[in-house]
């Protein structure tokens, strides 16, 4: 009996020192906040891309022109690719949160392992002799009463003190299930992304084959754009020259066509040779999209080594799909010194979008794009995509028009 009392008395310090330990440490707040913000952003981007893809698929079904339908289908596939990319980012964020919380929980359980081992050893000694036999063991009645009182006091304490431990063990199981679910979702999104990229590549091959018939005019425009790129002092002057060329093209398109020779030339009268009016529209292109999904690393007007930033710089996933921010005509597509592969899109009413930092371009000069048409892909190493929106050559904050 005295031996049992000694063992039972040793349980109490274990309860006080071990299981009454401080609550678990919280994860690094900055890292957790950033990861949760990335998760919310990825979920919102995935939802927006899904809605855009559904809208483009409906537009493609109702399009009568073959070229317009193909372009819209390509834009819908590009939106599906961006949806999968955002889904991968969301799954990675969920997996990171679950993994970090599991690591912290394992560390906390490890610190509590020693007192738990002592408690388990004490309980095992009690289990070797059932309580009924301990009470019937010859000895002092006073010892038996004292043992019963100690047990009545200690067992509830054990249950109370181990409740938080049991809950953390259950939490560890839930975190493991969440991690497994996030891993499964990540693999599914990666498979979906690969399939949609293959579908887009096949559709772009069909587009290239169909556009060979009209390649003569496009080749001439490409040669002129490349010549302008060689003559331009910098990117700003290239955009300015292309804006002037686009303005001239709009003026020429607005001119009346040739008139037939009158049947009686002697009775013909001179036509009213009034000048072609200036375009009066000023509305920004709509809808206007960000070209990639990802976080913003440099905002409009932020200070840089070359002055204030003229646009937004986004950090997407490696090899992310880049899309056209709005409908328009490709004024330039190709490499430009110091900016990687770039695409310049001329929109109506004097608006121009400039997208730089691409690793590959999938459009040709003169090509008509819809909002969301695939432009190319971002780089694999340290990808950064910059978007500039200009009105008559003057930089404008694109976020003012992003829906």
State yes or no: pLDDT of 223 exceeds 70: yes
Query: Of 239, 232, 217, which is closest to residue 342 (Cα–Cα)?
Result: 239
pLDDT number for residue 182: 84
Angle between helices 163-210 and 141-161 (to 10 degrees): 20
pLDDT digits (tens, 9 = 90+) for 15-53: 444 444 444 455 567 788 889 999 999 999 999 999 999
Average pLDDT over residues 72-87: 92
389 or 105, greater pLDDT = 389
Give the mean model confidence (pLDDT) for residues 282-308. 88
**In the prediction, which pLDDT does 341 show?**
93
Most confident of 9-13, 111-115, 239-243, 385-389: 385-389
The dihedral built from the CA positions of residue 296, 371, 80 and 358, taken in this order, carries a sign that is: negative
Give the residue, 342 or 64, on which the prediction is more confident.
342
To the nearest whole percent, how much of the chain has pLDDT over 70? Answer: 66
Question: pLDDT tens digit string along 163-188?
Answer: 666 676 777 778 788 888 888 888 88
Q: Is the pLDDT of residue 284 over 70?
A: yes
Q: Is residue 317 very low, low, confident or very high in pLDDT (cuts 50, 70, 90)?
A: very high
Contacts 24+ apart (CB under 8 A), 14-18: 14/115, 14/118, 14/119, 14/122, 15/119, 15/154, 15/157, 15/158, 15/161, 17/115, 18/112, 18/114, 18/115, 18/116, 18/118, 18/119
Please check the confidence at residue 218 and state whether its pLDDT lies above 70.
Answer: no
pLDDT value, residue 32: 85
Q: What are the chain's domains?
A: 2-207 (no CATH), 295-400 (2.70.70.10)
Over range 371-399, report the average pLDDT: 93
pLDDT higher at 331 or 176: 331
Q: Give the pLDDT mean for 5-17.
A: 47
Q: Would you place residue 342 in the very low, low, confident or very high pLDDT band (cuts 50, 70, 90)? A: very high
Q: Are 236 and 244 in contact (CB under 8 A)?
A: no
- Quote the pLDDT of residue 369: 93
Which range in 125-129, 155-159, 336-340, 377-381 is most confidently predicted, on average pLDDT? 377-381
Mean pLDDT for all residues in the chain: 77
328, pLDDT greater than 70: yes
Residue of 88, 114, 30 whose CA lies nearest to 293: 88
For the segment 334-355, the average pLDDT, to the nearest whole number, is 91
Q: Average pLDDT, stretch 89-97? A: 90
* Per-residue pLDDT at 273 exceeds 70: no
% of the chain at pLDDT higher than 90: 32
The 3-class SS string of the chain reads CHHHHHHHHHHHHHHHHHHCCCCCCCCCHHHHHHHHHHHHHHHHHHHHHHHHHHHHHHHHHHCCCHHHHHHHHHHHHHHHHHHHHHHHHHHHHHHHHHHHHHHHHHHHHHHCHHHHHHHHHHHHHHHHCCHHHHHHCCCCHHHHHHHHHHHHHHHHHHHHHCHHHHHHHHHHHHHHHHHHHHHHHHHHHHHHHHHHHHHHHHHHHHHHHHHHHHHHHHHHHHHHHHHHHHHCCCHHHHHHHHHHHHHHHHHHHHCCCCCCCCCCHHHCCCCCCCCCCCCCCCCCCCCECCCCCCEEEECCCCEECCEECCCEEEECCCCCEEECCCCEEEEEEEEECCCEEEEEEECHHHEEEEEEEEEEECCCCCCEECCCCEEEEECCCCCCEEEEEEECCEEECHHHCEC
Question: For position 21, what pLDDT does the model report?
Answer: 47
Give the mean model confidence (pLDDT) for residues 214-220. Answer: 60
Within 10 Å of residue 190's Cβ, how many Cβ atoms?
Answer: 15
The pLDDT value given to residue 259: 54
d(CA 97, CA 104): 11
pLDDT the model gives residue 166: 67
Residue 165 confidence (pLDDT): 64
Question: Which of 9-13, 179-183, 227-231, 341-345 holds the top average pLDDT?
Answer: 341-345
């Amino acid at each position: 009996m005295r031996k049992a009392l000694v063992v039972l008395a040793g349980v109490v310090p274990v309860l006080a020192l071990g299981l009454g330990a401080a609550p678990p440490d919280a994860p690094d707040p900055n890292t957790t906040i950033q990861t949760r913000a990335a998760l919310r952003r990825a979920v919102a981007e995935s939802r927006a891309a899904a809605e855009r893809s559904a809208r483009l698929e409906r537009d493609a079904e109702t399009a009568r022109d073959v070229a317009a339908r193909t372009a819209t289908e390509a834009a819908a596939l590009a939106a599906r690719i961006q949806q999968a990319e955002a889904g991968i980012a969301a799954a990675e964020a969920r997996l990171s949160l679950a993994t970090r919380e599991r690591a912290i929980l394992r560390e906390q359980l490890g610190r509590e392992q020693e007192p738990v081992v002592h408690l388990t050893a004490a309980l095992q000694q009690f289990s070797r002799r059932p309580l009924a036999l301990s009470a019937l063991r010859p000895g002092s009645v006073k010892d038996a009463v004292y043992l019963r009182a100690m047990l009545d006091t200690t067992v509830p304490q054990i249950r109370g003190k181990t409740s938080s431990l049991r809950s953390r063990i259950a939490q560890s199981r839930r975190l493991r299930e969440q991690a497994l679910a996030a891993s499964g979702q990540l693999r599914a999104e990666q498979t979906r992304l690969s399939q949609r990229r293959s579908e887009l590549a096949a559709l772009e091959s069909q587009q290239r084959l169909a556009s060979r018939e009209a390649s003569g005019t496009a080749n001439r425009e490409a040669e002129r754009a490349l010549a302008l790129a060689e003559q331009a002092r910098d990117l700003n002057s290239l955009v300015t020259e292309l804006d002037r060329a686009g303005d001239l093209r709009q003026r020429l398109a607005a001119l009346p066509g040739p008139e037939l020779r009158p049947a009686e030339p002697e009775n013909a009268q001179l036509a009213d040779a009034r000048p072609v009016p200036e375009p009066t529209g000023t509305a920004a292109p709509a809808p206007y999209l960000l070209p990639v999904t990802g976080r913003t690393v440099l905002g409009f007007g932020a200070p840089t080594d070359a002055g204030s930033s003229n646009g937004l710089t986004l950090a997407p996933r490696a090899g992310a799909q880049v899309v056209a921010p709005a409908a328009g005509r490709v004024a330039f597509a190709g490499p430009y010194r110091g900016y990687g592969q770039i695409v310049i899109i001329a929109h109506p009413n004097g608006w121009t979008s400039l997208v730089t930092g691409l690793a590959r371009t999938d459009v040709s000069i003169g090509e008509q794009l819809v909002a969301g048409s695939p432009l190319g892909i971002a780089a694999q190493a340290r990808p950064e995509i910059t978007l500039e929106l200009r009105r008559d050559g003057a930089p404008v904050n694109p976020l003012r028009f992003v829906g």
